[in-house]
A and B are shown apart, each in its own frame.
Chain A
Amino acid sequence: MNYISNFIFAIALAIAVWFFTKNVVQIRKNINLGRDLNRTDRKKDRLRNMLRVAFGQSKMQARPVAGILHFIVYVSFLIINIEVLEIVIDGLFGTHRFFAQFMGNAYGGIISFFEILAVLTIITVVIFWWRRNVKKIDRFHKPEMQGWPFKDANTILYIEVILMTALLNMNAVESNMDGAQHSFLISSLISPLWSSMSESGLHIAERILWWVHILGILSFLNYLPFSKHFHIILAFPNTYFTNLEAKGKFTNNAAVTKEVAMMMDPDADPFAATSAEDQIPVERFGAKDANDLSWVNLLNAYTCTECGRCTSECPANMTGKLLSPRKIMMDTRDRIDEIGKNITANGEFKDDGKSLLGDFISKEELWACTSCNACVQACPIDIDPLNIIMQLRNFATMEESSAPAELNAMMTNVENNGAPWPFSQMDRANWINE
Chain B
Amino acid sequence: MTNFTVPTLAQMTAEGKIPEVLFWVGCAGSFDDRAKKITKAMAKILNHTGISFAVLGTEEGCTGDPAKRAGNEFLFQMQAMMNIQVLNAYEVKHIVTTCPHCYNTLKNEYPELGGNYTVEHHSQFLNGLMKDGRLKIEGGQFRGKKITFHDPCYLGRANGEYEAPRELLAKLDVELKEMRRCKQNGLCCGAGGAQMFKDAEPGTAEINHVRADEALETGTDIVVSGCPFCNTMLTDGVKNREKEDTVQVLDLAEMIALAEDL
B248 in contact (CB, < 8 A): no
Which residues of chain A come closer than 8 Å to B154, judged between CB atoms? 248
With A285-B73, A315-B188, A431-B30 known as contacts, the answer to whether A246 contacts B81 (CB < 8 A) is no
Pairwise interchain contact B57-A429, C-beta atoms closer than 8 A: yes
Which residues of chain B come closer than 8 Å to A394, judged between CB atoms? 71, 73
A407 to B75, CA, bound (A): 12
- From B87-95, B123-131, B189-197, B253-261, give the one contacting chain A: B189-197
Pairwise interchain contact B193-A370, C-beta atoms closer than 8 A: yes
Which residues of chain A come closer than 8 Å to B195, judged between CB atoms? 370
Which residues of chain A come closer than 8 Å to B210, judged between CB atoms? 315, 318-319
Interface flags, B30-70, vs A, CB<8A=1, else 0: 11100010011001000000000001011011101011111
A256 in contact (CB, < 8 A): yes
Please tell me which one of the listed residues A248, A249, A286, A321 contacts residue B201 in the complex, with CB atoms under 8 A apart. Answer: A321
Pairwise interchain contact B81-A420, C-beta atoms closer than 8 A: no
Pairwise interchain contact A374-B188, C-beta atoms closer than 8 A: yes
A117 in contact (CB, < 8 A): no
Please tell me which one of the listed residues B74, B158, B200 contacts residue A373 in the complex, with CB atoms under 8 A apart. Answer: B158
Which residues of chain B come closer than 8 Å to A382, judged between CB atoms? none
A404 to B108, CA, bound (A): 27
With A256-B77, A418-B61, A428-B57 known as contacts, the answer to whether A247 contacts B197 (CB < 8 A) is no
B153 in contact (CB, < 8 A): yes
With A247-B157, A323-B201, A403-B71 known as contacts, the answer to whether A260 contacts B193 (CB < 8 A) is no
Pairwise interchain contact B201-A364, C-beta atoms closer than 8 A: yes
Which residues of chain B come closer than 8 Å to A247, judged between CB atoms? 157-159
Which residues of chain A come closer than 8 Å to B199, judged between CB atoms? 406
A336 to chain B, nearest CB (A): 21
A323 to B199, CA, bound (A): 15
Pairwise interchain contact B108-A420, C-beta atoms closer than 8 A: no
Which residues of chain A come closer than 8 Å to B6, judged between CB atoms? 429, 432
List residues 95-109 of chain B with CB under 8 A from any CB of chain A. 104, 107-109
List residues 103-136 of chain B with CB under 8 A from any CB of chain A. 104, 107-109, 112-113
Please tell me which one of the listed residues B78, B107, B207 contacts residue A315 in the complex, with CB atoms under 8 A apart. Answer: B207
A410 to B85, CA, bound (A): 23
Which residues of chain B come closer than 8 Å to A410, judged between CB atoms? 66-67, 70, 194, 197-198
Pairwise interchain contact B61-A260, C-beta atoms closer than 8 A: no
**Residue among A263, A286, A409, A428 facing the most chain B CB atoms (10 A cut-off):** A428
Interface flags, A300-319, vs B, CB<8A=1, else 0: 00000000000001011011
A428 to chain B, nearest CB (A): 5
B186 to chain A, nearest CB (A): 8
A355 in contact (CB, < 8 A): no
B13 in contact (CB, < 8 A): no
Interface flags, A70-81, vs B, CB<8A=1, else 0: 000000000000
B240 in contact (CB, < 8 A): no
Pairwise interchain contact B157-A427, C-beta atoms closer than 8 A: no
A370 to B36, CA, bound (A): 24
Tally of contact residues, B, Cβ under 8 A: 72
Which residues of chain B come closer than 8 Å to A263, judged between CB atoms? 78
Pairwise interchain contact B200-A260, C-beta atoms closer than 8 A: no
A196 in contact (CB, < 8 A): no
Pairwise interchain contact B109-A252, C-beta atoms closer than 8 A: yes
List residues 281-337 of chain A with CB under 8 A from any CB of chain B. 285-286, 313, 315-316, 318-323
A352 in contact (CB, < 8 A): no
List residues 157-201 of chain B with CB under 8 A from any CB of chain A. 157-160, 184-185, 187-188, 190-201
Please tell me which one of the listed residues B81, B184, B201 contacts residue A367 in the complex, with CB atoms under 8 A apart. Answer: B201
Pairwise interchain contact B66-A420, C-beta atoms closer than 8 A: yes
Which residues of chain A come closer than 8 Å to B207, judged between CB atoms? 315-316, 319, 370
B70 to chain A, nearest CB (A): 5
Show the binding face of A for B, using Cβ within 8 Å. Answer: 62, 245-250, 252-253, 256-257, 259-261, 263-264, 285-286, 313, 315-316, 318-323, 364, 367-374, 376-377, 390, 392-398, 403-404, 406-407, 409-411, 414-415, 418-421, 423, 425-434
Provide a sorted-by-A list of 10 A–B residue pairs whose CB atoms are within 8 angstroms: A248-B158, A248-B159, A252-B77, A264-B82, A373-B153, A406-B199, A410-B197, A428-B57, A432-B57, A434-B36
Show the binding face of B for A, using Cβ within 8 Å. Answer: 2, 6, 8, 25, 27, 29-32, 36, 39-40, 43, 55, 57-58, 60-62, 64, 66-75, 77-79, 81-82, 85, 104, 107-109, 112-113, 153-154, 157-160, 184-185, 187-188, 190-207, 210-211
